[in-house]
Amino acid sequence: MELTAQVLEDRFVRLEPLAEARKDELRAACADDPDTWNRLYPYSMLGEAFDVQWARLAKEAAAGRTIPFCVVAGGRARGMTTCLAVDPPNRSLEIGATYYAPELRGGPVNPAAKRLLLGFAFDGGASRVQFRVDALNARSRAAVLKLGAVQEGILRQDRVTWTGRVRDTVVFSILRDEWPAVKARLDARLAEFMVPQ
């Protein structure tokens, strides 16, 4: 498996490798929904924590363990998503650390971004892509199932979030031989959306 950070783009969204030029835009996007960070994420991207997490993402990317992206819509960074736990010997990775500003939720951005990331992963030689979702995050769980991922199980008391809450994590995956059907399903979903002006 060989994955190199690069721009991924379709008619709905542009995924750009994490770069300083988008830092302030992403900071503003993260600040648009503080409740989400307080309830559903294992870490915070609010206030001073933003710079700490930005530095962590950059360090992990430099070490080749992650490929973080800014989600650009309407010419501005309005979210983030990441290829995590990149494991070339086992041809696997995780798609996660995903956040979208409220105005991007429920439209074509998430399925378009997932279509781009899954294509990037499987074209790069992945055999397995997994998703790990907080059990309380009903919206994300539903979105991952809607992609066509298979729920594999729940890791009980898997992680302590930055607020001290102990979370259960739901694990989903898509395998290489499942990708053609998942891709066709995503393409059909995206065809229902009008092209943004």
Is the pLDDT confidence value at 196 over 70? no
In a domain, 196, yes or no: no
CA atoms within 13 A on the CB side of 78: 17
Domain coverage including residue 129: 8-191
| Tokens at 159, concatenated | 């992680």
Q: How confident is the model at residue 195 (pLDDT cuts 50, 70, 90)?
A: low
In a domain, 92, yes or no: yes
**Mean pLDDT, residues 47-74 taken together:** 91
Q: Which has more pLDDT, 71 or 46?
A: 71
CA atoms within 13 A on the CB side of 115: 21
pLDDT in tens, 86-118: 999 999 999 998 988 888 888 999 999 999 999
In a domain, 22, yes or no: yes
In a domain, 3, yes or no: no
pLDDT in tens, 62-92: 998 899 999 999 999 999 999 999 999 999 9
Instruction: Find out whether 82 and 68 touch, Cβ atoms under 8 Å.
Output: yes
Q: How confident is the model at residue 162 (pLDDT cuts 50, 70, 90)?
A: confident
In a domain, 2, yes or no: no
Q: How confident is the model at residue 38 (pLDDT cuts 50, 70, 90)?
A: low
In a domain, 1, yes or no: no
Total domains in the chain come to 1
In a domain, 48, yes or no: yes
In this predicted structure, which of 39-53, 99-113, 135-149, 164-178 has the lowest mean pLDDT? 39-53
Q: How confident is the model at residue 163 (pLDDT cuts 50, 70, 90)?
A: confident
Is the pLDDT confidence value at 176 over 60? yes
CA–CA distance, 45 with 49 (Å, rounded to integer): 5
End-to-end CA distance of the chain: 36
User: What's the pLDDT at 40?
Assistant: 66
User: What's the pLDDT at 45?
Assistant: 74
In a domain, 197, yes or no: no
User: What's the pLDDT at 76?
Assistant: 93
Query: For the purposes of burial, counting CB atoms within 10 Å of the CB of 106, is it exposed (0-12), middle (13-18) or buried (19 or more)?
Result: exposed
Which CATH number characterizes residue 42's domain? Answer: 3.40.630.30
- Its pTM stands at 0.90
